[in-house]
């Protein structure tokens, strides 16, 4: 999952970024509204954490412009303002949720999880395809009832495949959502991790779920 954090306070941005990375999120940071708009237009984010008080363009303006450009990624407003009027203004500008500073990191992570699940038909945090099951909240994966231990990067890769089950995902899409934006997609790291996943997910099972679509990418589906 790739998140854009828009926060001009360097210490706060660093604190939030560290917490998100510990939960295996990919995080890009923008320190002003103009950079936030640019990054949101050129990168496919799964969620945006947006402070209201920003240099160049404030968060309300950024949110309105993103929505006017039909960028419908979930937006969590993050600000020191806690008046009802400010909350209403933020939500009416197109934000999906509002969290006032100071906040507990556990609450921030819970809000993020809720927003990422909100638009999915299944809101339980359980992803399923055939006999493969992933619990996003507890970071557990089972196939045919047997738990499969995965590294954090393997889990993130499988999660992205399951969220896009039956659709072909390209190497570029994988690098953008599972690795950082500076990741060199020309290396064979993605292929290596896909082989790791195949050995853990498909080995020993009659039905193969992870498939290579030559010249395009990969797809998780039951055939």
pTM of the complete model: 0.67
pLDDT of residue 180: 65
Which residue, 199, 210, 156, is CA-closest to 179? 156
pLDDT of residue 67: 93
Mean predicted confidence (pLDDT) in 202-209: 93
- Domain boundaries defined on the chain: 2-118, 126-220
In our burial notation (b when 16+ CB lie closer than 10 A, e otherwise), range 157-194 reads bbbbbbbbbeeebebebbbbbbbeeeeeeeeebbeebb
Q: How far is CA 113 from CA 8, 76, 99, 138, 209, in A?
A: 23, 11, 14, 12, 26
pLDDT over threshold 60, residue 123: no
Q: Tell me the pLDDT tens digit for each residue of 6-47.
A: 999 999 999 999 999 888 888 999 999 999 999 999 988 989
Using DSSP's 3-state secondary structure scheme, residue 140 falls into strand
pLDDT over threshold 90, residue 66: yes
pLDDT of residue 130: 93
The residue with greater pLDDT, 220 or 184, is 220
Query: What class is the 126-220 domain?
Result: mainly alpha
Mean pLDDT across the chain: 87
Q: Evaluate whether 2-118 and 126-220 have a shared fold.
A: no
Query: How would CATH label the architecture of 2-118?
Result: 3-Layer(aba) Sandwich (3.40)
Q: Tell me the pLDDT tens digit for each residue of 182-205.
A: 556 567 888 899 999 999 999 999
Q: Tell me the pLDDT tens digit for each residue of 152-180.
A: 889 989 998 998 888 888 887 888 778 76
């Amino acid at each position: 999952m790739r998140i854009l954090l828009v926060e001009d306070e360097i210490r706060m941005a660093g604190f939030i970024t560290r917490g998100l990375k510990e939960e295996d999120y990919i995080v890009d940071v923008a320190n002003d509204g103009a950079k936030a708009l640019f990054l949101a237009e050129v990168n496919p984010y799964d969620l945006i954490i947006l402070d209201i008080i920003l240099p160049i363009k404030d968060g309300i303006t950024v949110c309105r412009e993103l929505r006017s450009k039909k960028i419908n990624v979930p937006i969590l407003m993050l600000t020191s303002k806690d008046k009802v009027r400010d909350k209403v203004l933020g939500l009416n500008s197109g934000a999906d949720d509002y969290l006032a500073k100071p906040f507990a990191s556990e609450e921030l992570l819970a809000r993020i999880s809720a927003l990422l699940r909100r638009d999915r038909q299944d809101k339980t945090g359980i992803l399923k395809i055939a006999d493969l099951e992933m619990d996003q909240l507890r970071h557990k994966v089972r196939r045919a009832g047997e738990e499969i231990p995965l590294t954090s990067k393997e889990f993130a890769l499988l999660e992205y495949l399951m969220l896009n089950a039956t659709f072909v995902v390209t190497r570029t899409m994988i690098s953008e959502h599972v690795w950082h934006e500076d990741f060199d997609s020309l290396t064979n790291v993605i292929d290596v991790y896909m082989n790791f996943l195949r050995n853990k997910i498909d080995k020993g099972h009659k039905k193969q779920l992870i498939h290579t679509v030559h010249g395009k990418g990969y797809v998780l589906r039951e055939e």
